[in-house]
A and B are shown apart, each in its own frame.
Chain A
Amino acid sequence: MKLFLKPSLAILFAATVFMSTSCSDDEDPAPVNEEELITTLKLTMVPQGGGATVTASYRDLDGDGGANPVITGAQLAANKVYDVTVQVLDESKSPAEDITEEVEEEGDEHQFFYVPSGVNLTVAYNDTDRNNRPIGIKTRMTTTTASTGNLKVVLKHQPALKSATSTINTGETDVEVTFPVTIQ
């Protein structure tokens, strides 16, 4: 009992504390951030009655920030009907991950919205979820006269919100991209 009451020993103990504190963790972060990343939205437009397939894409391979995205617009023919399929991809992984499947599986809480502006284009849904509501992975786009403008594509996550009254303003935005579109 007497022994450890000596002040010199107390100081020694204190020194031990300070020493034990100065340990060091030399761990490196994992090189891959494990997160769900959407890098690419691709529209594949197949004209009915033959003709060249048109592809439009928005690619931001390094994710948010950093290098600017690469946007490829669409040149469509006048007075045509196109069968359009949208794909959402993670191209930062190899092979690229197709996130569209996930959207389709959770179709009752996701919806794509297509908003043309300045361009003579109408968009109709061509698929449904399990509640018979549109998803918008497959659509039919109809062009009329020559014009130039934009097509905004928005994917909304609407958990427990998707209904007959839900709109583009409902829920959280998963994807929002705008393509230049020319009809000639």
Chain B
Amino acid sequence: MRNYSNYFVLLLLCVCLPFPAVFAQNGPVPAGADALSDTDCGITLSGTVTDHEDRTPLIGATVLLDGTQLTSVTDANGHYHFHGLCPGTYTLVVSYIGYTTERLQKAVRAPEVLNFRLHPDGLLLHSVEVRAARQRTQITQATGQLNGRELAQTHGQSLAQSLERITGLSSIQTGPSIAKPVIHGMHSNRILVMNNGVRHEAQQWGSEHAPEIDPFVASELTVVKGAAGVRYGADAIGGVILVEPKPLRDSAGTSAVLNLVGVSHNRQGVVSGMVESNPAALPGLSWRLQGTLKKAGNSKTPDYYLANTGYQEQNFSAAAGWTRDQFGVDAYFSRFDTKLGVFSASHVGNLTDIRNALQRERPEPEADFTYTIGVPYQNVTHDLLRLHGFYKTGTASRLLFTYARQYNIREEFDAHGDQSRPGLRFEITTHSSEALWEHPLIWNLKGSFGATYQYQFNRYEGRFFVPFFQSHTGGLFWLEEWEKGKWHVEAGVRYDYRHLQAKLYRKDTPQRTGQSELDNQLLTPTHTWQNLSGTLGVIYHFGPHLDLNLNASTAWRSPTTSELYSNGIHHGTGTYEYGNANLGMERAYNLVATLAYVQNKRLNGEISVYRNYIDNYIYQEPDTVPTLTIRGAFLTARQKQADATFTGLDVSASYQLTDHLLLATKASLVRAYNQTADEYLIWIPSDRYENSLRYSIDKLGARGVFAQNFIQISGLAVARQKNVPDNYLARDYALPPASYFLLNAEAGTTLQLGQQQIEIGLIGRNLLNTAYRDYLNRFRYYADETGRSITLRVSIPLNF
């Protein structure tokens, strides 16, 4: 013991707990699992199960009507319910791991609401982890989740492509290998990605910079749609993506998972494995190792291959934690390492080259299939080290610390000149720390105080695009929740301070003089910003099935270094981009209302409307005068600010047609308007509609060898973007592409071979092999999107 404690003293130096933590595996109860009795007298018995001390809902708690076969499992909000009961006396048995089981006898004559507050069972060994695992605050903002099998079905896709399954999300792509998530029409610097509780920091100045995260580390992806600046920091004006790994194992034993994925259109192969253990001899210790290898060749559209669009990834992560009743520490390290080919046909020079490319029916050069990646390509490595710990300051109160270091290297190899070294190499180092205190419950208020600090340093080698800079960002926040009866109220406030110093030579600025003495002068402009963020939200539970969420939030964002100081040609888009050192900060005011009708036998759905008003929205405006260079003319783009609004609607609904057939529909619409110029903004996702029909059957074959079977067919319709400014071709090279329809299908089963389970999924995308182009693909000028693609994935869990 002594040896271990010394080791962990070191770890505790800088530690914390996964704050949005990890969620129990139980999703909403499927309609078929609703408790039904033989005779239906129409009485509903429902309520919530919460923690007695901090009032957080317990997800996945079991409520049993003793003496009957009826059980109900609590949902994400801690709700349970029984329908169609007849009058009588029932005994409810409420149990949850880590808590003392409660029994209550109740005579029921009319619909009744019975709430339970369970007491933690201090004697149970892993109660601390269990409580961490279900720590899940209800958010008054619109959110979306991807977990379990639905997440597994996205394996082989990038993070952004996976998230497209969530209503209101789309992605901005740069060819088939690079995709960035878009939430309600906003992306890049207006969205934060929280990877395992750490704000992901990398080069963020281009649409060709996808988040450097291995999707296989996540057991759940959560998207907060709307300004979430209070908890996650300034900049989160469009939303937040939470990438959450599974919590470390908390029961003795060793297990592993092997995932294999094959994708047809680019002949992609993926092997991903994970092994984790909690030794019986050392119950406080848990560890996990995980790794992914991915290799893909040229992607195929319906009619041709896309030259140089292969990519490779080698990722791994390691985690270890030590948890006792009173405290816990853990360490996590991950490396993401990728080599990405940049589509050859997109490597164009000046405006004439782009016009030539637009005239071609097929991209040049023609290509065959190959795994070889030639120039131009990108090499990107991202390291994350995270140390984290908690210390209990009371029964429902904890102190949490996190320290993280991220190191990102991005190398861009050009098709020109010396190909042994990158034409452009960036290194960005980010240190961040957070301290959080979850205070004890007072006056029904549950809340936390936090402080964050971040230091960032950026350097480059090669041609100039974004300068050297260092920044310091500090923040203080306070969040409270109050719950009583049908009401749940959330409020929070945050203060942030940011100091930025850039270092660049005058020759790399638009103020270049042409005289070498003046031009070689090092400039060190500094900027300081500070401001407040706030949030206020209410959930009103009309009943166990109907919730209304209302949220008003405000957040701000300071201009990025690239928006201030970029100066140069952005290859692939044929644009000479000028930064604007006079940009001010932008502020968002976000209103969202969500009505959720959930946990019903047949019809379930959610409708969410939002309006995001952004003061001084920073955007790139093409200049009518092109920039003349020795390589010819380039489109000139300058950073400007205007007042903008993003207004939209997300709808999702499902209807259980029979016990086995589920019909589901999704729609997302957004309108983005430049109020100052009185016209629509460009590059906003067009309207998307998706319908699906799913047939599920639990057991098939002799003794149910095939379990949890399903087959689904779905259609995705994406409209042409018609809400664009007049005189469109003065701002973009080509009009928005035509609307398109894609037919997709999926199937899955869990095979039981003796003691061994094997989960199999089959996904078919673009089954009709439709040739189409997407408005948000920056390479739509050059080529079609990928054609028909079949993915086969196998997941083999192993227990030792």
A residues with CB within 8 A of B? 1, 4-5, 7, 10-11, 13-14, 16-18, 20-25, 27-31, 33-36, 38-41, 58, 60-69, 154, 157, 159-161, 169-177
B455 within 8 A of A: yes
List 28 A–B pairs whose Cβ atoms lie within 8 Å, in order of A's numbering.
Answer: A7-B399, A10-B391, A13-B13, A17-B435, A18-B433, A27-B459, A27-B468, A29-B504, A31-B520, A33-B508, A34-B462, A34-B463, A35-B463, A41-B630, A60-B630, A62-B507, A63-B629, A64-B627, A65-B510, A65-B567, A65-B629, A66-B512, A161-B364, A169-B356, A171-B364, A172-B353, A173-B632, A176-B350
Q: Give the distance to chain A from B71, nearest Cβ to Cβ, in Å.
A: 40
The interface residues of chain A lying within 8 Å CB-to-CB of B2 are 1
Choose from A28, A35, A38, A67 the contact partner of B630 (Cβ within 8 Å): A38
**Known A14-B435, A173-B632; contact A35-B462, beta-carbon cutoff 8 A:** yes
B115 within 8 A of A: no
Find the B residue at minimum CB distance from A155: B631
Nearest 8 pairs between A and B by C-beta?
A176-B632, A173-B349, A66-B512, A35-B463, A67-B514, A17-B14, A36-B417, A21-B431
Q: Give the distance to chain A from B385, nearest Cβ to Cβ, in Å.
A: 12
15 more CB-based (< 8 A) A-B contacts, given A7-B399, A62-B514: A16-B13, A17-B13, A17-B401, A21-B454, A21-B455, A27-B468, A29-B503, A61-B514, A62-B512, A65-B567, A66-B512, A159-B365, A172-B347, A172-B353, A175-B631
Find the A residue at minimum CB distance from B359: A169
Question: Are A25 and B470 within 8 A (Cβ)?
Answer: yes
The interface residues of chain B lying within 8 Å CB-to-CB of A10 are 12, 327, 389, 391, 399, 401
Count of CB-CB pairs between chains A and B under 8 Å: 172
Q: Give the distance to chain A from B646, nearest Cβ to Cβ, in Å.
A: 33
Q: Give the distance to chain A from B649, nearest Cβ to Cβ, in Å.
A: 42
Question: Are B401 and A14 within 8 A (Cβ)?
Answer: yes
Choose from A7, A13, A27, A61 the contact partner of B14 (Cβ within 8 Å): A13
Find the B residue at minimum CB distance from A177: B630
Question: Are A13 and B514 within 8 A (Cβ)?
Answer: no
Question: Are A29 and B460 within 8 A (Cβ)?
Answer: yes
Q: How far is the CA of A7 from the CA of B514 in the complex (A)?
A: 61
B625 within 8 A of A: no
Question: Are A160 and B347 within 8 A (Cβ)?
Answer: no
B628 within 8 A of A: yes
**Known A28-B468, A35-B423; contact A18-B459, beta-carbon cutoff 8 A:** no
Find the A residue at minimum CB distance from B393: A7
List CB contacts (< 8 Å) of B626-651 with chain A.
627-634
Choose from A33, A67, A171 the contact partner of B512 (Cβ within 8 Å): A67
Question: Are B507 and A29 within 8 A (Cβ)?
Answer: no
Question: Are B505 and A31 within 8 A (Cβ)?
Answer: yes
Question: Are A29 and B467 within 8 A (Cβ)?
Answer: yes
Find the A residue at minimum CB distance from B416: A36
Q: How far is the CA of A10 from the CA of B462 in the complex (A)?
A: 44
The interface residues of chain B lying within 8 Å CB-to-CB of A34 are 461-463
Choose from B391, B415, B513, B629 the contact partner of A7 (Cβ within 8 Å): B391
B107 within 8 A of A: no
Find the A residue at minimum CB distance from B436: A14
Q: Give the distance to chain B from A29, nearest Cβ to Cβ, in Å.
A: 5
Q: Give the distance to chain B from A128, nearest Cβ to Cβ, in Å.
A: 22
B352 within 8 A of A: yes
Question: Are B415 and A29 within 8 A (Cβ)?
Answer: no
Q: Give the one of A16, A69, A173 with max B CB within 10 A.
A: A173
Q: Give the distance to chain B from A72, nearest Cβ to Cβ, in Å.
A: 14
Q: How far is the CA of A170 from the CA of B514 in the complex (A)?
A: 34
The interface residues of chain A lying within 8 Å CB-to-CB of B464 are 33
Q: Give the one of B12, B520, B578 with max A CB within 10 A.
A: B12
**Known A4-B9, A66-B507, A172-B349; contact A58-B364, beta-carbon cutoff 8 A:** no
Question: Are B576 and A64 within 8 A (Cβ)?
Answer: yes
Question: Are A28 and B522 within 8 A (Cβ)?
Answer: yes
**Known A29-B460, A38-B630, A60-B630; contact A160-B514, beta-carbon cutoff 8 A:** no
Q: How far is the CA of A22 from the CA of B470 in the complex (A)?
A: 11
Q: Give the distance to chain B from A51, nearest Cβ to Cβ, in Å.
A: 29
Q: How far is the CA of A23 from the CA of B429 in the complex (A)?
A: 11
The interface residues of chain A lying within 8 Å CB-to-CB of B519 are 62
Q: How far is the CA of A61 from the CA of B630 in the complex (A)?
A: 10
Find the A residue at minimum CB distance from B457: A25
The interface residues of chain A lying within 8 Å CB-to-CB of B514 are 61-62, 66-67
B377 within 8 A of A: no
Question: Are B513 and A67 within 8 A (Cβ)?
Answer: yes
Q: Give the distance to chain A from B598, nearest Cβ to Cβ, in Å.
A: 40
Q: How far is the CA of A22 from the CA of B629 in the complex (A)?
A: 42
B432 within 8 A of A: yes
Q: Give the distance to chain B from A163, nearest Cβ to Cβ, in Å.
A: 10
Q: How far is the CA of A23 from the CA of B454 in the complex (A)?
A: 10
Q: How far is the CA of A176 from the CA of B429 in the complex (A)?
A: 39
The interface residues of chain B lying within 8 Å CB-to-CB of A29 are 459-460, 467-468, 503-505, 522
Q: Give the one of A7, A17, A29, A170 with max B CB within 10 A.
A: A17
Q: How far is the CA of A68 from the CA of B462 in the complex (A)?
A: 24
**Known A60-B630, A161-B364; contact A17-B403, beta-carbon cutoff 8 A:** yes
Could you give, for residues 426-438 of chain B, a 1 whenever the CB lies within 8 Å of some chain A CB and a 0 otherwise?
Answer: 0001011101000
B252 within 8 A of A: no
Q: Give the distance to chain A from B654, nearest Cβ to Cβ, in Å.
A: 46
The interface residues of chain A lying within 8 Å CB-to-CB of B513 are 66-67
B348 within 8 A of A: yes
Q: Give the distance to chain A from B633, nearest Cβ to Cβ, in Å.
A: 8
B472 within 8 A of A: yes
B741 within 8 A of A: no
The interface residues of chain B lying within 8 Å CB-to-CB of A169 are 356, 359
Find the A residue at minimum CB distance from B424: A35
Choose from B350, B429, B510, B629 the contact partner of A60 (Cβ within 8 Å): B629
Could you give, for residues 491-514 of chain B, a 1 whenever the CB lies within 8 Å of some chain A CB and a 0 otherwise?
Answer: 000000000000111011010111
B752 within 8 A of A: no
